[in-house]
Structure 1
Amino acid sequence: MVRLNKYIAHHSSYSRREADKAIQDGYVRVDGEIQTNPATQIQEGVNIVYISGKQVSPRDKYTVIVYNKPKGELVTKSDPKGRRTIYDTLSKEYKHYVPVGRLDYASEGLLLLTDASRVASALMESNLERIYKIKIKGEVTPDMEDAMLKGMTLDDASAGGHSHSKIKEMEFKPFIGYKVQKNQPNYSILKVALSEGKNRELRRFFAHFGAEIVDLKRISFAEIELNNLPEGKVRFLSRSEYSALAKFLKDEKKSALKENNEKRSFKSEKKTTFKENKPAQKKR
């Protein structure tokens, strides 16, 4: 069983938020009946789902593109302040593509987009390696290197975050790796590899040590590399990149199924235990 909003987001061009709105506005039918609750449980391959009169069916095909995002673009559909977004640059055929995570306004580099929300979700929630090239003000200190190796938890990680961000406490996992390419009193350049991409994680990390990031560029995501893709341009994944992605998605699906089966087994065992421990009713 799967939530209705998740089913639509996984098998259509609708994002989870767009699916929620369509459901709540009465545009979704399940087996002919209008459903207005995004949490409605359905069974793939059994229940028939329509959204605005068009059937939503499970699909295996998907497309992923690499976009070399320049500085000065937001990774969002629109901006209330009228700032430029990635969709102002991308051609119309990619307007419905979902970004895999975010790069903030001042950051640049590799951004993946896909026409399948399930693929975007799997990649965003993964611990696949992301590599960034960064330039910071000041030197790389021993304390920074120690935190990169061991990780750290901050009660207040607001420095380096957006002024309107509600995130304060943050846990930073140990970096997968790092390489100091230049270390000078005025500025330093590093390559760092992370297994996640939380809200302005790198900016918050270095801000804790009083070092502002002045340049941040993502150069790879797992086996997918930016290489010589020009700024503001897109490319499709290569055959080998698609093969690696397909293997990753297959492994993730197996892992999810195993986890669900274990949860069901655990619930079944609990029910049996409770039943056995239930006091016998007295005969009248």
Structure 2
Amino acid sequence: MRLNKYISHHTKYSRREADRLIEEGEVKLNRKVIREFGYEVQDGDQVSVKDRPVKPSSEVTVIVYNKPKGVLVTKKDDRGRATIYHKLPGKFRHFVPVGRLDYASEGLLILTDNIEVATALMESDLERTYNLKIDKPITQEMVTAMKEGLVLDDARAGGHEKSKIYSMEFAPFAHFEIRAEGKSFTKLRVTITEGKNRELRRFFGHFDAKVLDLKRVAYGGIELNNLPTNKTRFFTRREYDDLHKFIKQLKAEKKAEAKNRVNALKQEEANLKAKKKKKD
């Protein structure tokens, strides 16, 4: 993990603050000042900030947070807007969010003090369930796209005005249901297996529909239930057990994939040698 990222994930400092501390010579690696922002911290490295050792915990703590609207999922905002770290208790300031919920969205946000766990959950195809409201009746074109998926060369509608993401591919929804419908709105519950940038806002934006409300209510079997807005709770024992099983399975799959790649390379090398021998 890069040095500045390592500091931000294991201390109270943001990534930008970590960069500044490195630049000012306040960071030491193995007791020597280091000014390489991109240094990859290795196992056994001793990092300290202002002569205080940075000690990543080997234990994993995970919380569920009911994010309110009008709050950013970031450590600092250049425009001075409120972030989740203004709202969360100080003891969670070093926790890493699993994915994002945009400024106008609310609901379930998972945070952990372990970056590897956060990355594994974020990059997974675990199901994410949302309640949402759009400003028009549902159309057959929307239903077809939810069932079959959608590929857009221009997916800017619904995205942030400064976003550099133009094209986007949407996988078929894992599940969807229409919960209420009127002349000028539709309420839906949808389940998707990806977490792309403003994915649902862009999806419905393609059909000239604006998402008025968006609330995540579940993520990979973790449910928001009746957790009040702006409140947190720790994972339950069952949720921790499920998490450990998920991480164990993921590691086994990665190990198997690596072994298959090595075997494929060996086979390719053997085939080339046999081909060369045949020519000779």
TM-score (norm 1): 0.84
Q: CA deviation at 1:261?
A: 2.1
Matched-pair contact (CA < 8 Å) for 2:149–2:173: yes
CA distance in 2, matches of 1:217, 1:255: 32
- Distance in 2, matches of 1:38 and 1:278, equals 44
Residue 246 of structure 1 corresponds to 244
For the pair 1:50 / 2:36, whether they are aligned, the reply is no
Paired residue type of 1:241: E
Unaligned stretches of 5+ residues in structure 1: 280-284
Pairwise CA distance, 1:273: 5.2
CA offset at residue 12 of structure 1? 4.4
Work out whether residues 110 and 225 of structure 1, in 8 Å CA contact, stay in contact via their aligned partners in 2.
Answer: yes
Instruction: Give the secondary-structure state (helix, strand or coil) at the position aligned to 2:46.
Output: strand
**Distance in 2 (alpha carbons) for counterparts of 1:24 and 1:263:** 38
2:263 aligned to which of 262, 265, 275: 265
In the superposition, relative to structure 1, how do residues 130 and 139 fare at CA in structure 2: closer, same or farther (>3 Å)? same
Could you list the per-position Cα deviations for residues 49-87 of structure 1 after superposition, in whole angstroms to 9, with x for gaps in the alignment?
Answer: 111263767x64100000000000000001111111111
The aligned counterpart of 2:77 is: 79
The residue aligned with 2:134 is 136
1:29 CA drift (Å): 3.7
Give the whole-Å Cα distance in 1 for the aligned partners of 2:19 and 2:262: 31
Q: Is the 8 A contact 1:14 1:117 kept in 2?
A: no
Number of equivalenced pairs: 272
Asked if the contact 2:66/2:107 (under 8 Å) is kept, the reply is: yes
- Scaled by the length of structure 2, the TM-score of the pair is 0.85
Contact kept in structure 1, 2:4 and 2:18, CA below 8 Å: no
Match of 2:189 in 1: 191
For structure 1, which segment, 116-125 or 29-38, has the greater mean C-alpha deviation from structure 2 after superposition?
A: 29-38
Residues 10 and 54 in structure 2, CA contact (< 8 A), matched pair in contact too: no
Equivalent position of 1:212 in the other structure = 210
Gap change, CA 1:231 and 1:198, over 3 Å in 2: same
RMSD: 3.3
Amino acid at match of 2:77: D
Q: Which runs of 5+ in 2 are unaligned?
A: none
Q: Which moved more, 1:30-39 or 1:252-261?
A: 30-39
**Is the Cα–Cα contact under 8 Å of residues 22 and 34 in structure 2 kept in the other structure?**
no
Query: For residues 86-97 of structure 1, what are the structure 2 equivalents within 5 Å?
Result: 86-97=84-95
Do the aligned partners of 2:146 and 2:172 also contact (CA within 8 Å) in 1?
yes
- Percent identity, aligned pairs only? 44
Work out the CA distance in 2 between the residues paired with 1:29 and 1:267: 38
Paired residue for 1:229?
Answer: 227
Instruction: Please give the alpha-carbon distance, in whole angstroms, between the structure 2 residues aligned to 1:162 and 1:5.
Output: 30
Contact 1:8 1:19 in 2 (8 A): no
